[in-house]
Structure 1
């Protein structure tokens, strides 16, 4: 049994077949649009016109496909009204599934076309920005070269400063190690001297004098470490 919208209009089966043909045509159109838009510029513009005419960068190239999608959506809306009026539940459920599947396919195709349109708009914008950059570069090539030279010199200076700082750091570490060795030797000598003095029975005043001298030597060693660190920090700041 055929179901029509009344008034001698197309039947549900005829609408469905028309919608399927349009869907196949729209799929082919989207595939051609995407294929030509992703091809190199020279080959793309020499290719045959797409549905609706125009090159891959022409908005009219995808406009024909978009019109087909709109026609399919219109047919789906009409078929959605028609299958609801089918009295037999089995036929009604069958047409419901067919129309819903067709609607999902055309919605997916429309999303693909929308994504393609967004990509094309992005490419056009990027191409325009590149053209503006090249135009400015042609008028400012000497300025750009000078900037590159300054950047190269700055990088060389930074590398030299880094090497000098590493050398200064190594020197400072060596000095600190030397101070540490001297402190250990002073402690050892102090212990030996105390042992000798205790053996010969020197007075407590002499021992206290030696202890004060040891504290002075220790502060001298600490001061030397601090001065070395301050010199390294100041040198680093001057080179940067």
Structure 2
């Protein structure tokens, strides 16, 4: 059969070759060997165009048996081309879905990284605050130890003063000192005690003031 200088058999053979190339191209696209499916889409469109040409040719065949034979051949080519088109459409849909998911993951990671920086900054500030608290606690513990040492020293001195006072009183009683003189000595001792307590309080206040001033 002739049609514009091209026979039905020649068009059929061209369509078969295109089918083989399209299958191979589709497999390469699905394996990731081809970055674009445009060439496969073009081959499918060309096969479908050839099927339209062959459809006109086989309808013009006069012998029914030949006409039926070419009808089945052309329909088979058209069905295979349609199957390849469906496979390519499914691949493109999956690829588009993967690209969308990858874009969403990238956006999510960008947001997470931004939030992480904020969280890490807050954590760093909290860690610095905790370190400052620990330093203050250590300084207070040192101040308390110093205060306890001072109180212990003063207590020892107080006991020694009491002992000395008792000895002095014994001596005075022995030599017959009057009661008025004894009361005067007792008042003086009480004043000395108040002076000692005031000195202790001022010492502790000075130590705490010095610690907080250093901070």
Task: Give the TM-score normalised by structure 1.
Answer: 0.48
Give the match's secondary structure for 1:4.
Answer: coil
1:81-125 Cα offsets, whole Å, 9 max, x none, are 100000001100000000001110000000000000001100110
Root-mean-square deviation (Å): 1.7
1:91-240 equivalences under 5 Å are: 91-141=66-116
In 2: Cα distance, 1:124 partner to 1:74 partner: 31
- 1:31 Cα shift? 0.4
Give the match's secondary structure for 2:20.
Answer: helix
In 2: Cα distance, 1:144 partner to 1:33 partner: 43
Query: Which protein has the bigger helix share?
Result: 2
Contact 1:30 1:113 in 2 (8 A): yes
In 2: Cα distance, 1:104 partner to 1:143 partner: 58
Structure 1's consecutive aligned runs of 4 or more residues displaced over 4 angstroms after TM superposition are 142-145
Task: Give the TM-score normalised by structure 2.
Answer: 0.54
Contact 1:26 1:68 in 2 (8 A): yes
Residue of structure 2 in register with 1:90 after alignment: 65
Higher relative contact order (CA 8 A, sep 6+): 2
Residue of structure 2 in register with 1:12 after alignment: 8
In 2: Cα distance, 1:78 partner to 1:144 partner: 67
Structure 1 unaligned spans of 5+: 37-46, 56-60, 146-240
Contact 1:66 1:110 in 2 (8 A): yes
In 1: Cα distance, 2:2 partner to 2:104 partner: 54
- Name the larger-Rg structure: 2
Equivalent residue pairs, number? 121
